[in-house]
Amino acid sequence: AQSVAQPEDQVNVAEGNPLTVKCTYSVSGNPYLFWYVQYPNRGLQFLLKYITGDNLVKGSYGFEAEFNKSQTSFHLKKPSALVSDSALYFCAVIPAGNSGNTPLVFGKGTRLSVIA
């Protein structure tokens, strides 16, 4: 069965500094990987995905993520953090080529706090 680990419950970063939110996964075969962001009392918003191809994926709001197959990781990054990036971030995985609409498996989330 697939699983996702987000090892940090909380990440604090100063505004203007680079940020990284970590994600490692376990899945049979190749993965499809996703990052979502959640603001208070809202649903999840899609940020970016890795399906195949380039290991560096660019997404919304200046975020990017690097797929590393050997380390089974998909860390979310941004070169310069904004206070408005403060939110809860979720990593999710599903086996590539999975038939049907098997649900995504989500990590427990990492709360990012960007300090002015």
Partner 1 sequence: DGGITQSPKYLFRKEGQNVTLSCEQNLNHDAMYWYRQDPGQGLRLIYYSQIVNDFQKGDIAEGYSVSREKKESFPLTVTSAQKNPTAFYLCASSPERTNQPQHFGDGTRLSIL
Q: Which stretch binds partner 1 (CB under 8 A): 13-21, 63-71, 73-81, 103-111?
A: 103-111
State yes or no: residue 106 binds partner 1 (CB under 8 A). yes
Q: Which of 41, 53, 70, 116 binds partner 1 (CB under 8 A)?
A: 41
62: helix, coil or strand? helix
Kindly state whether residue 53 participates in binding partner 1, applying the rule CB under 8 A.
no
End-to-end CA distance of the chain: 41
Size, binding site for partner 1 by CB under 8 A: 27
Among 2, 15, 20, 44, binds partner 1 (CB under 8 A): 44
47: CB partners within 8 A, 6+ apart: 34, 35, 36, 37, 59, 60, 61, 63, 76, 89
